Structure 1
Amino acid sequence: MRPLRDTHLFRAARLLLATLLVAGCVTRGPVVPTTVGPERIARMLQIAEAEWQRWGSPRVGTTADGAQCALLASGECAEVDDGCGREMTAALCPVVNGYWASLGPGGAGGIERHTCPLTDQCEARWPPEWGPPHWTPAWSAAFISAVLRRAGFGESEFRFGKSHADYIVAARDHLTSAHDVVPTPAVALPGDLVCALREGARIAPAEIDRITAGETPTPMHCDLVVRVDFAAHRLEAIGGNVQQAVSRSTVELDEQGRVAALPGSGRAWNLVMRLHTEPLD
């Protein structure tokens, strides 16, 4: 019998692997987890808080039917329409392009850029008589990417991308080293990411293996946890493109102090991206 290395099948397999590698179709294997120290966590929280204040410190509430709404200057809590809100002000619309730029070469081109042609049109509601509202691409993943890159995370630790599913899948499959992906209910600490499905996605927390990235990523949203109050059973998180701004949300925890997909909580929290932190003394 001829050795395996001399068979036509083995040579064909080697040729196919080489072709895929050249084409960039083979991803690198699992990476060794890396720890994220308290200084870098503090830096991440500082950046997120500063960006929130830069946007005027907006907060998010919940309507009677459980939907998210923006707490407006008038005291009303309203869902912000496309074409309105703080992302469409002359001062803040260009800021979003800074978040897109954090994705690196090619990540901020084309439709992912905010062109800011119409600014300061409306606070929350787009009048129908104006015609179709000006649409902008979702930039919440770009915001998270910008915060983590500015905090010193590298390409091997976090997958910077325009889709939350891109970096979730990379962490889930151990292609990046700084996070574990844990289905809810789960404890979240400052520096972790809490992630939810967007409308139209149908995946249970236990089915996080079904989250897809790439050409048709699973529609998701993630916020950065900045404060946890276990006694009050709530945490606070900051995210981008939340009611068309960088906003602060309150997430109610279950009786065990865990993030869960609770009814009326505003989002169906499916998972926590948990940092690998240094062990406590």
Structure 2
Amino acid sequence: MRTPSRTLVLLATLIVAGCATHGPVAPTTVPPERIARMVQIAEAEWRLWGSQRIGTTSDGAQCAVLASGDCAEVDDGCGREMSAALCPVVNGYWAALGPAGTGGIERHTCPQPDRCEARWLPEWGPPLWTPAWSAAFISAVLRRAGFTESEFRFGKSHADYIVAARDHLSSAHDVIATPAIALPGDLICALREGARIAPTEIARISAGESPTPMHCDLVTRVDFAGRRLEAIGGNVQQSVSRITLDLDGQGRVGTSPVAGRTWNLVLRVHAEPGD
């Protein structure tokens, strides 16, 4: 994992680089039934994984609400992603990327399933490492909802599809710096180490040999009156999990850390007029 200083150096030195050989595409709109389908798929996957919710520790880090009611940070090698029933499900998310996501390290072999809920004991030796699959989860949800290759850049890095939307190489989303309104079907995104991207620095997000380490969740519910937002993401505390964010006074995803992350941008879906 990159340290915060490594991330800041990366952001300061990356140049704007396209991630495809073809040119810009015209924006397209997404019908309401497809937005509803995205949310339905994400909700169904969340239930399949046991409806895990995310809290925060006293020092602001993310933790998973366990069956005991405790909130704990789930160690590598533990959690639902290493259960015999659910670890193979991740390979279905990798498959959504196409041939590049169906082999190599982008697979979960699950040789030590169901060993621990949250804590990996030192006497067990080094925990099993698995590749980060949060972008594969988002890609799978959007592909299953009917998005095409020209509408969304399916990839194993969140920066892949953010850059594609930013550079108009995919047609269904805009990249908006926070603070920003987010609606069901949008993606909210953060740097993994929580560093802040100013609005003028969004152009620095790039992809390639060393993609900017980010995380995105799919917005499923927004309560503007209660100033709350719910979103679902993959590979969050080793599971598909739901987070709840407090919105600012204008109903926006703000610039302060919330739910263990600093949310830097909204990937806004082009909804049909009137939605």
**How does the TM-score come out when normalised to structure 1?**
0.89
Report the 3-state secondary structure (helix = DSSP H, G, I; strand = E; otherwise coil) of the residue aligned with 1:137: coil
Q: Which moved more, 1:219-228 or 1:252-261?
A: 252-261
- Superposed CA deviations along residues 193-251 of structure 1, whole A, max 9, x for unmatched, are 00000117563344111111121100000000000001111100000000000000001
Tell me the equivalent position of 1:250. 244
Counterpart-to-counterpart distance in 2, 1:29 and 1:234: 38
Counterpart selection for 2:179 from 181, 185, 201: 185
1:265 to partner: Cα distance: 3.7
1:65 aligned partner: 59
Instruction: Provide the secondary structure at the position in 2 that maps to 1:110.
Output: coil
Shift of 1:29: 1.4
The alignment yields a C-alpha RMSD, in angstroms, of 1.4
* 8 A Cα contact 1:184 1:261, kept in partner: yes
Give the one of 136, 141, 149 matched to 1:155. Answer: 149
Q: In the alignment, which of 34, 44, 53 is matched to residue 47 of structure 2?
A: 53
- 1:238 aligned counterpart, secondary structure: strand
1:176 partnered with 2:170: yes
Q: Distance in 2 between matches of 1:267 and 1:72?
A: 20
1:75 is displaced (CA, Å) by 0.7
Task: Detail structure 1 runs of 4+ shifted over 2 Å in the superposition.
Answer: 200-206
Aligned to 1:239: 233
Q: How does 1:117-266 map to 2 (within 5 A)?
A: 117-199=111-193, 203-266=197-260
Q: Identify the range of structure 1 (258-267 vs 246-255) with the bigger mean alpha-carbon deviation.
A: 258-267
The answer (yes or no) to whether the contact 1:201–1:218 under 8 Å persists in 2 is no
Q: Tell me if the contact between 1:201 and 1:219 (Cα under 8 Å) persists in the aligned partners.
A: no
Distance 1:26 1:194 in 2: 23
Secondary structure at 1:112 match in 2:
coil
The alpha-carbon deviation at position 264 of structure 1 amounts to 5.0
Q: Contact 2:257–2:263 at 8 Å: present in 1 too?
A: no
Aligned length: 257
Given candidates 98, 101, 106, the residue that maps to 2:95 is 101
Return the alpha-carbon distance in structure 1 between the equivalents of residues 141 and 20 of structure 2.
Answer: 28
Q: Is the 8 A contact 1:33 1:178 kept in 2?
A: yes
Aligned residue identity for 1:246: V
Query: 1:45-64 CA deviation, whole Å, 9 max, x = no partner?
Result: 11000000000111000111
Rounded to whole Å, the distance in 2 between the matches of 1:39 and 1:222 is 22
Q: Give 2:75's aligned residue.
A: 81
Amino acid at match of 2:130: T
- In our comparison, the structure showing a higher alpha carbon Rg is 1
Q: Which residue of 1 aligns with 2:84?
A: 90
Q: Which residue of 2 aligns with 1:274?
A: 268
Q: Highest relative contact order (Cα 8 Å, sep 6+), 1 or 2?
A: 2
Which sections of structure 2, spanning at least 5 residues, go unmatched? Answer: 1-18
- Three-state SS of the structure 1 residue aligned to 2:64 is strand
TM-score (norm 2): 0.91
Instruction: Work out the CA distance in 1 between the residues paired with 2:197 and 2:246.
Output: 21
Q: Secondary structure at the match of 2:251?
A: coil
Report whether the alignment pairs 1:116 with 2:105. Answer: no
- Single out whichever of 193-202 and 216-225 deviates more from structure 2: 193-202
C-alpha distance in 1 between matches for 2:150 and 2:20: 16
